[in-house]
Amino acid sequence: MSLSISPDEMVVAGDKQNEDTPTTALPVGAALRQALAARRVSLLSRATFVGGVTLTVVLFGVGAWQRRWIADDGLIVLRTVRNLLAGNGPVFNAGERVETNTSAAWTYVVWFFSWLTQARLEYVVLAVALTLSLLAIVFAMLGAARLWGGAAGQLLLPAGALVYIAVPPARDYATSGLENCLVIFWLGVLWWLLMRWSQAEKVRLTTLFGVTFWAGLCWVIRPEMTILGGLALLLVFFAPMPRTRLRPFVTRALLVLVGGLVPVGYQIWRMGYYGLPYPNTAVAKEAGGAKWKQGFTYLWDLVGPYYLWLPLLLLVVATVLILRARRSEAADETADEAAPVAKWRRLRSPRAVVTLMIFAGVLLVAFNLRVGGDFMHGRMLLPQLFILMLPVSVLPIRLPARANRTPRSLLLVAIPVVAWLVALGWSLFAANTTTTNAGAGISDTGIVDERVYYVLNSGHSHPILAEDYLDYPRMRAMVRDIAGTPDGGLLITSPSFMMWYVAPPPLPIPPGGSGHTVYFLNLGMTSMNVPLNVRVIDQEGLAYPLAAHTDRLEDGRIGHDKNLYPDWVLVDTGMVDRHPWMPWFLDEKWVTQARTALSCPATQDLLASSRAPLTWERFRHNLIQSLHFAKYRIDRVPKYEIQRCKLVDPTAPTAPN
């Protein structure tokens, strides 16, 4: 493999002569013609590569813009950004320290550009997401170009990059307001940095520390990206250190410092501030649980409709053949050279980087299968697909010299050409394919085409602004009921989900009212259409620790398999707990039991970790107890929670004397 892809190395001047042919001096005219031919080939190679990158980025940008939207979960991020800008801290509800965004880095990226531009949040996140998505493709193709290098008559054609952008979910989540754009951007830049590092004749410390710092961001990009980032850090750490004034052990110590600066610093702050070792979303969705069957269902939900296995298989076959051919050529050229390089030095090589990326990609697929995938069609497998496509983002097509054209050489050219043509044709097919999940309802697998679902249910082709979601069922009624109850109260939906019920606060009502709390599943559209002084919590627990720490429902919909009964919320918010004031479908006995269950000391300690004033003592206590809090679970049935906590049930019949 070539070590660089600078313009001067995209081609060599002329074809290699046959070794059996004696070397003779060329006439001046022939040499000039040969130089001009080489120059034309060089220009063609560069133009093909630049044109391929440009075309791919333009196609991706146009496709993403045609499907532009901001998901309900994307609006959740913006609620936290609103609180940051208002001075309430990185929280979803003021006064309650809950990390509702899985990607800490994405929260602060959106916050920074929102603070910088002072533009409307929805437009900021739309622009940032689309820009990062497009840049991810650029870096992916640049890294692959460095991998394949330059050779005489070689063309670098977009292949894996086209496969990725052709998958409809890739274009859906390029602008969704979720962190997918940041994840693939981080992956693309990491791939490019690792390729530069692996091919550099002399590694500079700035390059080394740059790779290490970027790889170390994995934990704040998304926790599961630590699988790839951690392996990359290990690769760089154990690879030979560059010769500098620093001793190797000092350089490695600095690598640990640079790589761990952000993730370790943020982790200490997260554990003390939020009282958890990872985002609250991981607790709510039980990221450590296992649902293998649902995971395979989720995998096939992406692979099956688009026949995604076809381009993957062909590109793998073509890549193997190209590598074997190049390995054979390299062996012939270096047969008489010095002894091979020591094995430990091979860690800093393109082959080691490619192996790492593929291995990490497979591990991430396995992780996604174990947790059961997701409820959004394709979303959680997009980073894995992007990783596996990185080495073949561009595919090298090299025509053999006329003197060396043999049936074998022509076959080695024909196979990658066929693979590229099939990938191109498949991309046209996949880009216009609609899955069975694309509708206004949820499939029996629990998986849904999220963008189409919200487009149909909101009545907007491009739901971007928060008010676009006011046309989603129950949203306008929520805004109206909040305005109609100035005393405050708890808004919960009826069992039929057709209307809101407002549980009033107890008398006396303080000046300005007791405030409102909305208890609803769709956190994003709800929270972005109400002021910051309206508390918004959910049954699943993304923004509500009490619900997040309930046990997982065994047969619940993936990503929605927790559902805290509203009786708990009535007690927790301190609303009137007697009929006829409280909603008719709530049971007074259950409410009484919930009040007792909520008094459990361990549960109160858990709630204090996010609600108590943040003093130094509270920070220290959260830091020490964060692992315990992460494992703590309550039973959502008040009666059983009373038994678990060994409390006295106030509704139990009194034994006769």
DSSP secondary structure of 139-194 = HHHHHHHHHH---TTEEEEE-HHHHHHHSHHHHHTTSSSSTHHHHHHHHHHHHHHH
The predicted structure's pLDDT at residue 1? 38
For the segment 130-156, the average pLDDT, to the nearest whole number, is 89
- DSSP-assigned beta bridge partners for residue 491: 502, 518
pLDDT by residue (tens digit) across 144-155?
999 988 665 688
- Residue 567 makes CB contacts below 8 A (sequence gap 6+) with 586, 587, 590, 591, 593, 594, 638
Q: What are the residue ranges spanned by the domains of the chain? A: 40-69+101-329+346-399+406-432, 436-472, 473-645
Please tell me which residue, 340 or 614, carries the higher pLDDT value: 614
Whether residue 170 is predicted with pLDDT greater than 60 in this model: the reply is: yes
Range in 46-55, 77-86, 648-657 the model is least confident about: 648-657
Q: Read off the pTM.
A: 0.91
The secondary element (H helix, E strand) that includes residue 525 is helix 523-527
C-alpha span between 568 and 549 (Å, rounded): 13
pLDDT by residue (tens digit) across 237-272?
999 888 877 788 888 999 999 999 999 999 999 999
- Of 598, 541, 540, whose CA–CA distance to 567 is shortest? 598
CA count, 13 A, side-chain hemisphere, 503: 28
pLDDT by residue (tens digit) across 381-416?
999 999 999 999 999 887 666 555 666 667 677 778
Please tell me which residue, 337 or 238, carries the higher pLDDT value: 238
pLDDT above 70 as % of the chain:
87
The predicted structure's pLDDT at residue 249? 86
Q: What is the largest CA-CA distance in the chain?
A: 121
The predicted structure's pLDDT at residue 518? 97
Work out whether strand 489-493 and strand 500-503 pair parallel, antiparallel, or are unpaired: antiparallel
The predicted structure's pLDDT at residue 424? 92
Q: Which of left, alpha, beta for 396 (phi over 0: left; psi -120 to 50: alpha)?
A: beta
The predicted structure's pLDDT at residue 419? 86
- Of 141, 135, 151, 156, whose CA–CA distance to 4 is shortest? 151
Q: What is the mean pLDDT of the chain?
A: 88
CA count, 13 A, side-chain hemisphere, 324: 12
561 DSSP assignment = -
Q: Which two tokens stand for residue 464?
A: 């971007």
334 DSSP assignment = T
Q: Which residue's structure tokens are 């170390």?
A: 216
Instruction: Give how far Cα 213 sits from Cα of 79, 190, 191, 258, Å.
Output: 29, 10, 13, 6
C-alpha span between 116 and 582 (Å, rounded): 46
**How far, in whole angstroms, is CA 365 from its chain's centroid?**
13
The predicted structure's pLDDT at residue 37? 60
| In contact, 67 and 451? CB cutoff 8 Å | yes
Whether residue 5 is predicted with pLDDT greater than 50 in this model: the reply is: no
CA count, 13 A, side-chain hemisphere, 445: 23
The predicted structure's pLDDT at residue 498? 72
For the segment 120-136, the average pLDDT, to the nearest whole number, is 97
Q: Which residue's structure tokens are 């620093």?
A: 246
| In contact, 562 and 284? CB cutoff 8 Å | yes
The predicted structure's pLDDT at residue 18? 39
The predicted structure's pLDDT at residue 330? 58
Whether residue 6 is predicted with pLDDT greater than 60 in this model: the reply is: no
The predicted structure's pLDDT at residue 527? 96
Residue-wise DSSP of 425-479: HHHHHHHT---TT-SSS--TTS-B-HHHHHHHHHT-SS--SGGGGGGSTTHHHHH
Strand ranges for 290-433 from DSSP E: 394-398
| In contact, 588 and 579? CB cutoff 8 Å | yes
pLDDT by residue (tens digit) across 628-654?
999 999 999 999 999 999 999 998 886
The pLDDT-based confidence of 307 (bands split at 50, 70, 90) is very high
C-alpha span between 284 and 305 (Å, rounded): 30
pLDDT by residue (tens digit) across 486-538?
999 999 997 776 789 999 999 999 998 999 999 999 999 999 999 999 999 99
Whether residue 327 is predicted with pLDDT greater than 60 in this model: the reply is: yes
For the segment 303-324, the average pLDDT, to the nearest whole number, is 87
- Residue 376 makes CB contacts below 8 A (sequence gap 6+) with 71, 169, 447, 448, 450, 559
pLDDT above 90 as % of the chain:
71
| In contact, 184 and 386? CB cutoff 8 Å | yes
The predicted structure's pLDDT at residue 569? 96
The predicted structure's pLDDT at residue 150? 64
Whether residue 42 is predicted with pLDDT greater than 90 in this model: the reply is: no
